[in-house]
């Protein structure tokens, strides 16, 4: 069975040099697994049983930078990623990093990377210096994504400083473990209620982490918004129920969320066709992710949809008649698994 993972991170050295020392120390806890986009990463994929990774730059990308610098570095990093993918085209694909400070330039960069390099969409790290995607100024990006028929992946980032000060200033671990999901789920709900899918009915949005809390609360939120139809009328441009948009335009991944009960909830609320496999490598464990996939309480047909068929459809990836995965020596598989678990333990210790 082919296995495609969608939310898999890398780190470019020029952006590493611009991030805060504290953040770099956190990223460095996973060693060179973030910076390597080559044979070492492929050996780890082979050991766990992953055929293709869709790569994206670790958050916050260029979204915290000054506009002109963000435009320049996004092009440079996307060019670098395209060159790496060209060396291993059956093992890697890419999501573009966009300079969201300038929506017009971001739309142009999305088109450039899709048409020139075959990128499969873009990954956006939440808000951009306090500006959220429901603002009308971001319309060019959605218009271009719909025209190109590629998805936008909304990835978590730190909430605005006022939220951090209120809820998380004494508990950074709570911000990453809980706050990121609340932030991203709320961002998606704001975007839907703004009427974005009425203006762009073929737009596709992806979120990770088993739907950023939304599947579990979907019926409650849907009922509240549509109650008596009066709340729905208050939503500018939103013509359908939340449930309709979630099933027609939104896709979720399993990134870093390997829980069978949560998967069953997501499938029940959204349908198996809207759920895609991801690991969140190197912060998630490839072995744990693939084991979760193989043990999922799904039919063989639905397991294949989760593993690769949905990704092939949503990202318009070519179907593979056979696995491109190389054979892996059992000792390497054991060693890679142990290293992944040790790195995970070190990260947990650091954020306590």
Among the listed residues 335, 187, 185, 350, the one whose alpha carbon sits nearest the alpha carbon of residue 283: 350
From residue 200, give the alpha-carbon distance in Å to each of 10, 87, 178, 243: 30, 35, 30, 17
Contact 201, 161 (CB under 8 A): no
Among the listed residues 324, 164, 176, 332, the one whose alpha carbon sits nearest the alpha carbon of residue 256: 176
Strands 52-57 and 205-207: unpaired
Length of the chain: 352
- Give the three-state DSSP class for 20: coil
Going across the sheet that includes 152-155, the strands are: 96-97, 122-125, 152-155, 205-207, 250-253, 275-276
Active-site residue numbers?
A: 280
Element (H, E) at 285: none
Q: How many CB atoms lie within 10 A of CB 136?
A: 8
Q: For residues 220 and 222, what is the distance between their CA atoms, to the nearest angstrom?
A: 5
Among the listed residues 2, 3, 7, 33, the one whose alpha carbon sits nearest the alpha carbon of residue 212: 7
Element (H, E) at 11: none
């Amino acid at each position: 069975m082919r296995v495609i993972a969608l939310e898999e991170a890398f780190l470019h050295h020029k952006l590493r040099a611009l991030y805060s020392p504290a953040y770099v120390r956190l990223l460095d806890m996973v060693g060179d697994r973030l910076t390597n986009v080559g044979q070492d990463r492929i050996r780890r994929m082979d050991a766990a049983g992953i055929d293709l990774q869709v790569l994206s730059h670790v958050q916050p990308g260029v979204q915290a930078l000054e506009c002109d610098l963000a435009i320049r570095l996004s092009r440079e990093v996307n060019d670098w990623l395209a060159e790496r993918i060209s060396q291993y085209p059956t093992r890697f694909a890419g999501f573009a990093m966009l300079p969201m400070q300038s929506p017009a330039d971001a739309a142009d960069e999305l088109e450039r990377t899709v048409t020139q390099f075959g990128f499969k969409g873009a990954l956006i790290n939440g808000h951009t210096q306090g500006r959220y995607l429901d603002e009308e100024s971001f319309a060019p990006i959605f218009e271009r994504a719909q025209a190109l028929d590629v998805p936008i992946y909304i990835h978590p980032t730190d909430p605005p400083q006022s939220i951090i000060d209120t809820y998380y200033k004494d508990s950074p671990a709570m911000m990453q473990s809980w706050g990121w999901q609340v932030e991203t789920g709320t961002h998606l709900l704001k975007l839907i209620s703004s009427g974005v899918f009425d203006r762009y009915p073929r737009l596709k949005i992806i979120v990770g982490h088993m739907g950023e809390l939304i599947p579990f609360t979907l019926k409650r939120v849907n009922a509240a918004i549509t109650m008596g139809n009066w709340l729905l009328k208050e939503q500018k441009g939103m013509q359908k129920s939340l449930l309709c948009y979630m099933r027609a335009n939104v896709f979720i991944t399993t990134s870093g969320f390997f829980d069978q009960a949560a998967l069953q909830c997501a499938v029940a609320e959204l349908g198996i066709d809207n759920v895609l496999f991801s690991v969140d490598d190197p912060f998630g464990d490839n072995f744990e992710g693939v084991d979760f996939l193989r043990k999922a309480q799904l039919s063989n047909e639905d397991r294949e949809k989760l593993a690769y068929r949905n990704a092939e459809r949503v990202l318009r990836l070519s179907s593979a008649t056979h696995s491109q995965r190389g054979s892996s020596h059992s000792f390497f598989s054991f060693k890679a698994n142990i290293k992944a678990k040790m790195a995970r333990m070190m990260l947990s210790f650091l954020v306590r």
